[in-house]
């Protein structure tokens, strides 16, 4: 999966799960400040991303995630790392 596809999938999830306006979503949008997600929302996002990727996401992987692009990069890295 290409990063653009990952970005589109994450954007679709943000719109569907949190009713975020598509115009507010950009690669540099901050999850907590700009999109007003909270920690519970972040957990929901991770759960949905695990279902869609079929891979387990380790909590430490998402500790440094702050923007939509950070999520894209983390999922890209997860998908390109051999399953353990």
DSSP symbol at 30:
B
User: Based on the structure, what is the number of domains in the chain?
Assistant: 1
The rounded distance, in Å, linking the Cα atoms of 77 and 71 is: 10
- What CATH number did the domain enclosing 40 receive? 1.10.1200.10
Domain ranges, residue 50? 3-80
Which residue has tokens 């507010």? 24
What pLDDT digit, counting tens, does each position of 36-77 carry? 999 899 889 999 999 988 988 888 888 889 999 999 999 999
Please count the residues of the chain: 84
pTM of the model: 0.90
Check: CB of residue 42 under 8 Å from CB of residue 2: no
Residue 67 β-bridge partners: 30
Q: How confident is the model at residue 84 (pLDDT cuts 50, 70, 90)?
A: low
Q: How many CB atoms lie within 10 A of CB 71?
A: 23
């Amino acid at each position: 999966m290409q990063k653009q596809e990952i970005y589109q999938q994450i954007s679709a999830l943000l719109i569907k799960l949190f009713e975020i306006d598509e115009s507010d979503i950009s690669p540099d949008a901050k999850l907590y400040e700009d999109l007003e997600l909270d920690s519970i929302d972040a957990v929901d996002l991770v759960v949905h991303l695990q279902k869609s990727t079929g891979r387990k996401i380790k909590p430490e992987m998402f500790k440094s995630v702050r923007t939509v692009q950070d999520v894209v990069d983390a999922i890209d890295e997860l998908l390109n790392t051999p399953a353990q």
